[in-house]
Amino acid sequence: MKKILTLAMLVKDGRILLGLKKRGFGEGLWNGFGGKVEAKESIQQAAKREVEEEVGVIPIQMDEVGLLNFTFESEQLELEVHVFRVGSWEGEPVETEEMRPEWFSYVDVPYDKMWPDDVYWLPLLLNRKKFQGDFHFDRPSDLNYKSKILRQTVEVIL
């Protein structure tokens, strides 16, 4: 089974806005904002909707800058994650039921409390690069388990 997901990173003035996931999948980890693409929407529309739902701002400048493929040793699940860089938006970030937002300067990104793939590609996004990555994990994460990377490749796209 293949799932298509979005992930949007909001950046401004050398800082990135991350959300602490308060419940459900990825609880306790800092991440960008995103989720599943629904049947009747484009990937771009889904990315925008998820940002609005999770942090309460409306993206203005939003570019797709990365494509990540996640596979798992334990099962036939594939995640295709479309990564967006959001450089401007309308409104002020707010805490929602799902996420507590906080600003981090680029040098203080809390990689140790993020998904294990982020350290490989987020620095590229912060450096305004485009990228494509493949990550093969042991098994999907859940409330008590954070996936481990078995193999990975990331390349910058020119």
Question: Footprint of ligand 6OG on this chain (CB under 6 A)?
Answer: 5-7, 25-26, 31, 34-36, 70, 79, 81, 115, 117-118, 141, 147
What number of CA atoms fall less than 13 Å from residue 134's CA on the CB side? 3
Phi, psi of 127 (to 5 degrees): -95, 15
Q: Is 36 or 128 the residue whose CB approaches ligand 6OG more closely? A: 36
Sign of CA dihedral 155, 59, 115, 112: positive
In the chain the first and final C-alpha atoms are separated, in Å, by 30
Residue 100 CB, nearest approach to ligand 6OG (Å): 15
Residue 113 CB, nearest approach to ligand 6OG (Å): 12
Element (H, E) at 55: helix 43-55
Cα 18 to Cα 21: distance, rounded to the nearest angstrom = 9
Q: Is 35 or 87 the residue whose CB approaches ligand 6OG more closely? A: 35
Residue 137 CB, nearest approach to ligand 6OG (Å): 6
Q: Is 15 or 136 the residue whose CB approaches ligand 6OG more closely? A: 136
Q: Is 31 or 124 the residue whose CB approaches ligand 6OG more closely? A: 31
